[in-house]
Chains A and B, each alone.
Chain A
Amino acid sequence: MNVLTYVHAFFADGAHWQGYDGIPRRLLEHIGYTLLALGLAAAVGLPAGLLTGHTGRGGNAVAFVATAARALPSFGLLVLIAVGIGIGLLPVMVPLVLLAIPPILVTTYEAVRSVDPSPVDAARGLGMPEAGILFRVELPAALPLVLSGVRSAAIQVVSTATIAAYVSLGGLGRYIIDGLYQRDYEKVAGGAALVALLALATLALFWGAGRLAVSPGVRRR
């Protein structure tokens, strides 16, 4: 039996589609963790990236935060916090948010820094206030890059959110962990396939968001 037949068998089994451990429920849980972690990371990373990018100050701090956060092992952090304060949502969210902040923060910072300076100069010279310059000149021009930063954060969170299952929470990680424990390889392969599909769906979602949110004048199409 190869992986594809495992996957096929997993999805063909009607029992996997319903109940407490059913695919719809686990998928929703997984999406829930992802959105929460991504939302928290964006709430920190986007404003910080936009502000440092606009002012040009704090570039070193951004680079330091990003490198430090990347060096943290997600799983290790999860175990450490779980041991410290017990299991729950918090030990899951901390590593996921810390994982998602660097790509969002660094890309946003770089995106705003690399915006063509002459429209910015023109806007300032025409009397546009600084906030207007940031949100109505720099951000629209930087948007494709900013979105790509959030997208790579989202993909990383989708695949890493499987660790939630280690601390008895749900999500698609359940199939992988339970499957390994029960030596149910159909479950493992099925869980992994679902994570991959969710990652692909995320890519599609960001592609669509780019089409909608980025001006054709910036896309040049």
Chain B
Amino acid sequence: MESVTKRYPDGTVAVDRLSLDIPDRAITVLVGPSGCGKTTTLRMINRMVEPTEGTILLDGEDLQRLPVTTLRRSMGYVIQNAGLFQHRTILDNIATVPRLLGWGKARSRERAAELMGRVGLDASLAGRYPYQLSGGQQQRVGVARALAADPPVLLMDEPFSAVDPVVRKGLQDELLRIQDELGKTIVFVTHDIDEAVKLGTMVAVMRTGGRLAQFASPADLLSDPADAFVEDFLGADRGVRRLSFFPSAGLELVTDAVVPLDAPAARLAASGAPYLLVTDPDGRPLGWGEPRDLIAGAIVPEGLLPYGRPFVPGTDSLRAALDCAVLSPTGWAVAVDADGRVSGVVSQQAIGEAIRSAHAAGRGDVAEVAEVAP
């Protein structure tokens, strides 16, 4: 998008000289407060709204050169309440664009059935009508319908904002999985910064008046907000959220505070740690106990302190590890392998040090950047 402006007939400037280089085969998220021009920007890409000034290029070609229906059929479009056709079955809803493109009925339906599987819809729903589906299922149908003709581009306008948080998380994970498989160029509109950070390869933060405040990767956005507006929009726990982008693999795990339930008394006494994590014979965590109680044999598995929620080094981020430590009654986080066997424990202090060194390795210092902003 090159210096694109949209002024509505009533004089409202919805988008103001916006320039954006949307990367191929990645998710670009447009985020910002209500009325900042996100929807308008998105709809200029499929020409549901025509820009007043500026040009939009697709693979170097001006969008204005393409016939509008051809253009739209090459871009999937997903909207907030799915916008399904109530009079058509789920299968026929999904088959819409293939039918428009003149594929035969049988082939279109075959393709639609394939897509139902891809977006995680049970095949038994094919013959139902939209009103017989939950909001989350309808949204999946909306995504399947947009993907049906395998368009290279997918435009999504707050597709998951009308469903509850649990369903939303499922839909977000599903989208990331689909994107891993299909590698579409996705432009995704949301007003939820968490959703933007979770889904975006690149995030464009817009401010009221339709101006671009910052265009950066989620990690850069959290570490280097361009100005006070962006920082404010990112929210108070930006620092903690940024930890999602640091792996927990580098944490040094302590193993001598981990003991099996039937460990000899000498071993229990040897570690010197204030608490010991007791495991069952398979190495799965049972809970925390104090060495002297364990030595006295006064503790049964039911009497141990709960160990909270373990994290998986390598898979989980530093944020997950810190969360475990904060929630643990002993202040130590429990690390397990993919099978749930304890691989070690790590203290809050150790996590804190890992965070400091991760920040030092990252670009810039958070506090300084915030202060130089206007």
Residue of A nearest to B80 (CB): A118
A217 CB contact (under 8 Å) in B71, B77, B89, B145: B89
Interface of chain A residues 133 through 165 with chain B (CB within 8 A):
136-137, 140-141
Tell me the minimal C-beta distance from A114 to chain B in angstroms: 13
CB within 8 Å of A: which B87-132 residues: 87-89, 96-97, 100, 129-131
Pick from B73, B80, B82, B131: contact of A126, CB below 8 A.
B73
The 8 A CB mask of B69-83 against A (1 = contact, 0 = none) is 111110011011111
Q: Once the chains bind, are A128 and B83 in contact (CB under 8 Å)?
A: no
Given A137-B85, A217-B130, A127 and B79 touching (CB < 8 A)? no
Shortest CB–CB separation between residue B136 and chain A, in angstroms? 17
User: Cβ of B129 and Cβ of A126 under 8 Å apart?
Assistant: no
CB distance from A126 to the nearest CB of B (A): 5
Contact A124 B96 (CB under 8 A): no
Contact A215 B100 (CB under 8 A): no
Q: Tell me, in angstroms, the Cα distance from A218 to B86 when the chains sit together.
A: 6
User: Which residues in chain B, 284-309, are within 8 Å of chain A measured between CB atoms?
Assistant: none
Q: Mark A92-126, 1 if CB is under 8 A from B, else 0.
A: 00000000000000000000000010111111111
Contact B131 A118 (CB under 8 A): no
A126 touches B87 (CB 8 A): no
A217 and B88 contacting across the interface, CB-CB below 8 Å:
yes
Q: List B contacts of A118 (CB < 8 A).
A: 79-83
Residues of A within 8 A of B129 (CB): 215-217, 220
On chain A, the residues within 8 Å of B73 by CB distance are 126-127
Residues of chain B with a CB closer than 8 A to A128's CB: 69, 96, 100
B40 to chain A, nearest CB (A): 14
Q: Give the nearest-CB partner of A122 in chain B.
A: B83
Specify which of B70, B79, B100, B131 is in contact with A122 (CB 8 Å cutoff): B79
Q: Closest A residue to B78 by CB, please name it.
A: A122
B101 nearest CB neighbor, chain A only: A127
> Which residue of B has the minimal Cβ distance to A128?
B100
The reply to whether the CB of B84 lies closer than 8 angstroms to some CB of chain A is yes
Query: Does chain B have a CB within 8 A of A208?
Result: no
Q: B70 to chain A: which residues have CB within 8 Å? A: 127
Known: A216-B129, A217-B129, A220-B131. A126 touches B145 (CB 8 A): yes
A141 to B83 CA separation, bound complex (whole angstroms): 12
B181 to chain A, nearest CB (A): 22
Shortest Cβ distance from residue A211 to the other chain B in the assembled complex, whole angstroms: 14
Cα A68 to Cα B94 with chains together (Å): 45
In the bound complex, what is the Cα–Cα distance between A140 and B87 (angstroms)?
A: 7
* CA gap between A135 and B225 in the complex, in Å: 49
A127 to B74, CA, bound (A): 9
* Residue among B83, B89, B100, B155 with the highest chain A CB neighbour number at 10 A: B83
A76 on the B face (CB < 8 A)? no
Q: Report yes or no: B87 in contact with A127, Cβ–Cβ below 8 A.
A: no
Check B249 for interface membership: any CB of A closer than 8 A: no
Which residue, A123, A126, A218, has most C-beta atoms of chain B within 10 A?
Answer: A126
Residues of chain A lying within 8 A (CB to CB) of residue B145:
122, 126
**A112 to B: closest C-beta gap in Å:** 14
> Does B83 contact A119, Cβ atoms closer than 8 Å?
yes
Interface string of B138-157 (1 = CB under 8 A from A): 00001001100000000100
Q: In the assembled complex, how far is the CB of residue A48 from the closest CB belonging to chain B, in whole angstroms?
A: 23
Q: Does B57 contact A (CB under 8 A)?
A: no
Contacts of A86 in B (CB 8 A): none
Which B residues are CB-close (under 8 A) to A119? 83-86
- A129 close to chain B: CB less than 8 A: yes
Asked whether A132 is an interface residue with its Cβ less than 8 Å from the other chain, the reply is yes
Residues of chain A within 8 A (CB-CB) of B85 are 119, 123, 136-137, 140-141, 217
Give A125 to B77 CA distance when docked, in angstroms: 6
Give the complex CA separation of A103 and B139 in angstroms: 37
Which B residues lie at the A interface, using CB under 8 A? Answer: 43, 46, 48, 68-73, 76-77, 79-89, 96-97, 100, 129-131, 142, 145-146, 155
Q: Can you give 30 contacting A-B residue pairs, CB < 8 Å?
A: A116-B83, A118-B82, A119-B83, A119-B84, A120-B83, A121-B83, A122-B82, A122-B83, A122-B145, A125-B43, A125-B46, A125-B77, A125-B155, A126-B100, A127-B70, A127-B71, A127-B72, A127-B73, A128-B69, A137-B85, A140-B86, A141-B86, A141-B87, A215-B87, A215-B88, A217-B87, A217-B89, A217-B131, A218-B87, A220-B129
Binding site for B on A (CB under 8 A): 116, 118-129, 132, 136-137, 140-141, 214-218, 220
What 10 pairs across the A-B complex have the smallest Cβ distances? Answer: A217-B129, A122-B83, A127-B72, A125-B77, A215-B87, A127-B73, A118-B83, A140-B87, A127-B69, A119-B83
* Beyond known contacts A125-B155, A127-B100: 6 more, CB 8 A cutoff: A122-B79, A122-B142, A125-B46, A126-B73, A215-B88, A218-B87
